[in-house]
Amino acid sequence: MCGIVGYVGRRQAGPVLLNCLGKLEYRGYDSCGIAVSSGDLVVYKDAIRVKALAETLPRSIEGKAGIGHTRWATHGEPSQVNAHPHCDCTGRIAVVHNGVISNFQKLREQLSGEGHHFVSETDTEVIPHLIEKYYAGDLAKAVELALGEVEGSYAIAVLMSGESRLVVARKDSPLIIGIGDRENFIASDVPAILDYTSQVLYLEDGDIGVVTPGGVEVSQHGKVVRRERHTISWTVEDAQKGGYEHFMLKEIHEQPKVIRDTIGGYVSAAEPPAHLATMGDISLEEILILACGTSYHAALIGKYLMEELFKVAVRAELASEFSYSGRASSVSRAIVITQSGETADALKAIRKLKGEGCQVIVITNVVGSTASRLADQTVYTRAGPEISVAATKSFIAQLMALYWLALPYAKIDIRRLDGLVMELRQLPGKVQRVLDSEATISEYARQLARCEDVFFIGRGINFPVALEGALKLKEISYIHAEGYAAGELKHGPFALLGRETPVVAIVAQDNTYEAMLTSIKEVKARHSPVLALAEEGDEVVGEVADSVITLPRVDALFSPVLNAVALQLLAYYTARERGCPIDFPRNLAKSVTVE
């Protein structure tokens, strides 16, 4: 949550900060602000988007050092006074913060008793007051002492009037330093700084950094430490719309390439299936997969996939709930899925697993992320930067990683395995055929856009796809949508069916086929219109459903990929028809770095 940027160097800081902030609005966008230092410290902030803030600023903001923030509200509603940066009593120290200070109320009362005056409702405001309290000529030392009293999570950047340097620190929230030519940058995430540099340092928990135009010094517990420099492979173009109306649509259309890039790292045309993985022997007694949100739906698909191929029990659980379980994991190896590699609940689960002696495989999209550094082994998904808050291509890339992890250990006939590998290689072309039918899908979306309640149903490996389809629709179109295992409708949800409540049914050519047809007939008997997803050539589904989105034939194990892409397009065009802000849905942020 929240986006932090900072700049110190040879340019005027204001335009750089605003440009960087605009690239981070997927992390929060209910308010924003910047602070710039030349002689005095000047702060501009409000409960508006970055573009609107830029239009209200003076034409010339002098100062070559500054910090900025775009907010996803936690403490206090979006308002001018609650927007970051926050300052101390003297107005000389400004702070931007991502995270949650759990003991802020106690600190606030303590500082108020010492004469400090607070103006906002935020937890962040205690930080500049603590720094002011400890400042005695050395800003970095004051930050270190202040953070010694803070409990919770934070990534902060601190600016002081008259200084051409920034002090930064992190604990349980991501923060990177971009290395330039006589200039350096601070950001929560890589896309913010790609216009200026591809060289970055990833700060570790407990790091405090001093950033000047000429260099960076990082210390931990008072000792200078070295952080490795990484070169980002993403380009500026990767993080731009490329002519599409929305980032989400662009990212949906990038999925054939994402599939090729992800499996291309593991599969070559001449490589036999037995050599698809290098993970070593995997325990097949029990497998645990943890994730949150859309990644959890990928985990559920992984559960069905691995149970089918391994013939063993697989548990897929929400990382946010697992962390609060009192029981031990009871497994020797677990898979944790996190797109950003910075998801707070996932990181907490990883630490719990590691503390119990469990080996952890992480599936993530971000090289150098906290999760990748904590993991015993990391599988990168090669999805590139995903800007739209609603996850699309990262979800498909996670599925590719799960297929790759599963296939080498499949307890199936070698001819069946060869067939699956061949199907895997053909997926990019089949996904492209789904994308080519988006005009037809958009017509169905126009009908859906008039509704306020929609059910999604599936069975077996496509039950999680029903959950994901409902999530996509609700988060970007604001239509109430629920995903169900088809057999569960009769256990309560039937009470909500009727002519105004359409049902989207996912029909796969597997052992659930006949049961799905029965479920559709039961829904039709309650007068709900049914939009089905089915393979081309399936005339039976067309006889029982009101409308059908036809998809290319594919092995049932890979059907979630094609079905998910079709439902992404359905959600996108439904939201577009309703005039919703598709890339930035209300109340949501891309990277959930707080609990």
State residue 443's pLDDT score: 95
Question: What is the DSSP annotation of 211-233?
Answer: EETTEEEEEETTEEE---EEE--
pLDDT of amino acid 404: 87
Backbone angles phi, psi at 347, to 5 degrees: -65, -40
Domain extents for the chain? 3-238, 241-434, 437-583
Contact criterion met (CB below 8 Å) for 242 and 234: no
Residue 20 bears catalytic tag:
no
Q: Which of 23, 303, 472, 590 is catalytic?
A: 590
Query: Can you give the pLDDT at residue 274?
Result: 36
Same fold, 241-434 and 437-583: yes
Looking at residue 384, what is its pLDDT? 85
Report the CATH superfamily, name and number, of domain 3-238: Aminohydrolase, N-terminal nucleophile (Ntn) domain (3.60.20.10)
Q: How far is CA 60 from CA 14, 31, 57, 64, 390, in A?
A: 8, 22, 8, 12, 36
Q: What is the pLDDT of residue 333?
A: 84
Q: What is the pTM of this model?
A: 0.77
Q: Of the residues 2, 87, 292, 358, which is catalytic?
A: 2
Bridge partner list, 230: 200
pLDDT confidence of residue 495:
77
- 87 is an active site residue: no
- CATH number of this structure's domain 241-434: 3.40.50.10490
**Helix (H), strand (E) at residue 47:** none
CATH tag, 437-583 = 3.40.50.10490
Q: Which residues contact 200 (CB under 8 A, 6 or more apart)?
A: 176, 177, 178, 179, 190, 193, 229, 230, 232, 368
| Nearest to 594, CA basis, from 214, 100, 190 | 100
Instruction: Report how far apart, in Å, the C-alpha atoms of 314 and of each of 8, 311, 363, 497, 560 are.
Output: 50, 9, 17, 33, 18
Q: What is the mean pLDDT of each run of 10 residues along the chain (595 residues)?
A: 89 92 80 88 89 85 91 78 90 91 91 92 92 94 94 92 92 90 92 90 92 93 89 71 87 94 63 38 72 95 92 89 74 89 89 90 88 90 87 95 86 88 92 95 95 95 97 96 90 84 95 94 92 94 94 96 98 96 78 54
CA–CA distance, 193 with 178 (Å, rounded to integer) = 7
